[in-house]
């Protein structure tokens, strides 16, 4: 039996985020940054792929190069912006026995300046889902349908999700912006 791509919410996801955050904060200690848990695993009660999405946000006065240098020392490599300006992707180089937590917990790591448009979108969408039970349920239902359509294949799921959920996500981001006015 194939493992379901989208899994029921797991309270360990927030614990896993905190474990990774602790290592990153300690390593980036000298820099003015903040670390955000974004994506579906950051929303209580929302089913998700069991991968923690993390945005490292560097504040004015800190350069991307400074953050990149520290992350490279932690066995990450810079994988470009993958077509999204001001959202740099970092991946693990290879497993390192010294980095148990960083290698054992599946995660996506992004680095963004504080004024990044994509960072703002991540936070608006996350915050909307956190406080809106109806939107959360709708999003979960759509994600599960897409996972079935993709036959539980992660790459197919990502491609279909990009097309089928774009309008839903954009609408919820706009609703969140309006609620803040």
Chain-centroid distance, C-alpha 51: 8
> In whole angstroms, what is the distance from residue 154 CA to residue 180 CA?
34
What are the boundaries of each domain within the chain? 12-116, 125-180
> In whole angstroms, what is the distance from residue 108 CA to residue 87 CA?
12
Q: Which residues pair with 36 in a beta bridge?
A: 55
Q: What is the pLDDT along the chain (181 residues), one digit of tens a residue?
A: 567 899 999 999 999 999 999 999 999 999 999 999 999 999 999 999 999 999 999 999 999 999 999 999 999 999 999 999 999 999 998 766 666 899 999 999 999 999 999 999 999 999 999 999 999 999 999 999 999 999 999 899 989 998 899 999 999 999 999 988 8
> In whole angstroms, what is the distance from residue 17 CA to residue 148 CA?
27
The CATH fold of domain 12-116: Beta Polymerase; domain 2 (3.30.460)
- Tokens representing 34 are 């903040």
């Amino acid at each position: 039996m194939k493992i379901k791509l989208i899994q029921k919410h797991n309270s360990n996801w927030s614990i896993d985020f905190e474990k990774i955050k602790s290592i990153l904060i300690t390593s980036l200690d000298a820099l003015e940054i903040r670390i955000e848990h974004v994506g579906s695993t950051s929303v209580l009660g929302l089913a998700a792929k069991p991968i923690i999405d993390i945005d490292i946000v560097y504040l004015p006065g800190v350069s991307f190069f400074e953050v990149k240098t520290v992350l490279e020392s932690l066995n990450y490599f810079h994988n470009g912006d993958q077509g999204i300006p001001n959202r740099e992707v970092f991946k693990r180089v290879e497993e390192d026995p010294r980095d148990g937590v960083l290698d054992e917990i599946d995660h996506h790591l992004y680095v963004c300046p504080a004024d990044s448009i994509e960072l703002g979108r991540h936070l608006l969408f996350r915050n909307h889902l956190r406080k809106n039970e109806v939107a959360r349920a709708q999003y979960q239902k759509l994600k599960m349908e897409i996972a079935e359509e993709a036959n539980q294949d992660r790459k197919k799921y990502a491609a279909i999700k990009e097309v089928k959920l774009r309008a839903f996500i954009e609408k919820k981001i706009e609703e969140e912006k309006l609620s803040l006015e």
